[in-house]
Structure 1
């Protein structure tokens, strides 16, 4: 931690990407407008719409100044792809001469003290890149019995992930925390001075934040975790299906395994040796499913999806997870 970081006035761009989620992005903006603001900072919010037409511009321009005084900016990025839109947000932050770029997702809301906690964590650390926890928002009404079961299973999974991060990560070490752009802060000099950007090749596959993290760490920079800066993800019923969770895990695994094969080409062939063991593991989970459905349901989706994603990568397929959108 440097004295200049403690005392310095910070310029901040808080950004989210959106595509065909007008109600969700409206809820995010409302939470931005209700949050407390950190001292000795100038912050602005930014929505980058990644679409061929400005579907939410009127909504955003109608609330150009939020109740807490934050200004809300809007840009349309017509070139499709999540990494393209993230890079557009970074360019906008640089144009605003921001010191920090912060990302959350358009299907989230932020806690009232979220930005205060995140900036306090940054000031107390040496990290140039920081992640923070993602929790699940309260369930929507009228879920089916199966959707309720999946919601409980996902809640358990998120809680365990946050606990694992709390036990291993600090403001200056990521430990076993998942550093993802759903709750993420970076110094803009990583783009301006280090020329680290989100990989355009991952525009539809995802995993661009993981590769960005890898590049930051490869340069020797500190990465950390802010354990008390909370955001909440809304899970629409469409995401509470077995097949969605399977596909999401498959696509994430596919992207990650492509990266691993670049680093260790032999991994492509070793994955086939694991097929018998993985089939046995899936069978065991299936047998346990009636006895521990809350735990086993999501585990089955993630185990099967994770392994099939790796096999697909070994066979040359690539994820296109971000070609479709769920939500409202």
Structure 2
């Protein structure tokens, strides 16, 4: 008689990306897990499209894991993320994975590796990095810039993490509920804000080497997109700390980080001029916009990044 000691759900948020969703689902069906592990997959559709239902049904028919489809009609990444958490908490699963629909695991042991490291480190949260590859025709400078070099080491504790490659223990989501704040509905940074809440609640997050691969769409490979992303990330950073820290602490910390970002922007700009390297120059502009966004966040300015859908 089989005894299952571990149960986990992989959550995917999708919105008008049926081709990429199918690629991810097919990759997940190839995951190798221990005999003692039960793995399920949850797809939350934020667009209510029949093409998404068709993809789920097609892959489900051949999948060794149960795949569940759910619809979240409220637009925005926050509502979709919270739908994932709600659906998960209605089951008896112990762990919730998050992976994006433009990604796929680098190895067939990805899910089991994260589960193993959770036990090894007695972690509340386990995260890993992203390997970016360009959609055909995407310039190399953009692919190099989106994530840069991974600075983390195996077993390192982290205080920020994102829902593009993440494992969360059930007790974390039972305590921090709702997990994602609707004030970030269309602006991004709700996962950074969630990480900040986890850290303040005393939960421990660890890094492990279990990457996923992301296809970076050609439509994002513009200087304008990177500048907007830098501005948006800076705003989200400041708003997160204003929501969770004391006013004095938030102002001091955010102004300090704004200064650091400005200095780095100047440094990268000078280096880019000397080397005539486009990646370095755009990186400097990205960091300057992040500085500007960090200041703009104090004034309630928002940038709604998620109105435009990139990819397939």
**TM-score class, shorter:** 0.7 to 0.9
Deviations 1:102-148 (A, max 9, x none): 000011011222112111111212111111111113x33334xxx23
C-alpha distance in structure 1 between counterparts of 2:176 and 2:97, whole Å:
18
Deviates more, 1:199-208 or 1:229-238: 199-208
- Secondary structure of the residue aligned to 1:13 is strand
Q: State the 1:48 CA deviation.
A: 0.3
Moved over 6 A (4+): none
222 and 142 in structure 1: CA distance in 2 versus 1, 3 angstrom threshold: closer
Greater CA drift, 262-271 or 89-98: 262-271
**Local SS of the residue matching 1:165:** coil
Shift of 1:98: 0.9
Query: Any idea what the Cα deviations from partners look like across 1:174-227, whole Å, max 9, x if unmatched?
Result: 27xx51110001112223355452112211122222222222222222221222
CA distance in 1, matches of 2:178, 2:124: 12
Equivalent pair of 1:16/1:48 in contact (CA under 8 Å): yes
* Count of residues paired in the alignment: 304
The separation in 1 between residues aligned to 2:145 and 2:182, in whole angstroms, is 34
Q: CA deviation at 1:44?
A: 0.6
Kept in 2: contact 1:105–1:182 (CA 8 A)? yes
Which residue of the partner structure matches residue 109 of structure 1? 104
Contact 1:196 1:215 in 2 (8 A): no
Partner SS state of residue 8, structure 2:
strand
User: Cα offset for 1:66?
Assistant: 4.0
Residue matched to 1:3: none
Aligned to 1:203: 185
Question: Structure 1 residues 80, 120: closer, same or farther in 2, change over 3 A?
Answer: same
The equivalent residue for 2:207 is: 225
1:218 and 1:280, CA in 2 relative to 1: closer, same or farther beyond 3 A?
Answer: closer
Residue pair 1:65, 1:71 contacting (<8 A) in 2 also: no
Match of 1:25 among 21, 24, 31: 21
Which residue does 2:155 correspond to in 1? 170
Q: Aligned in 2, Cα 1:117/1:312: closer, same or farther, shift over 3 Å?
A: same
Counterparts in 2 of 1:280 and 1:153: CA distance versus 1, 3 Å: closer
Q: 1:301 to 1:326 in 2, by over 3 A?
A: farther
TM-score normalised to structure 2 length: 0.87
CA contact (8 A) 2:46 2:73 kept: yes
Equivalent residue number for residue 191 of structure 1: 173
Distance 1:299 1:103 in 2: 28
Q: Of residues 196, 202, 207 in structure 2, which corresponds to 1:214?
A: 196
Cα distance in structure 2, aligned partners of 1:194 and 1:280: 34
Deviations 1:56-95 (A, max 9, x none): 111111221444x112111111011211111111111122
DSSP 3-state at the match of 2:183: helix
Q: What CA RMSD, in Å, does the superposition of the two structures yield over aligned residues?
A: 2.8
Answer yes or no: is the 8 Å Cα contact 2:265–2:285 preserved in 1.
no
Inter-CA distance 285–222: structure 2 relative to 1 (3 Å threshold): same
Q: Residue 114 of structure 2: which of 115, 118, 122 is its match?
A: 118
State the match for 1:151 in structure 2.
Answer: 143
Structure 2 unaligned spans of 5+: none
Paired position in structure 2 for 1:299: 283
In the TM superposition, what is the alpha-carbon distance from 1:252 to its structure 2 partner? 1.3
Q: Distance in 1 between matches of 2:18 and 2:270?
A: 38
Q: Work out which of the residue numbers 269, 291, 298 in structure 2 matches 1:314.
A: 298
* Cα distance change, pair 191–298 in 1 and its aligned pair in 2 (3 A): same
1:23-172 map, 5 Å: 23-67=19-63, 69-110=64-105, 111-137=107-133, 139-143=134-138, 147-154=139-146, 157-158=147-148, 160=149, 162=150, 164-166=151-153, 170=155
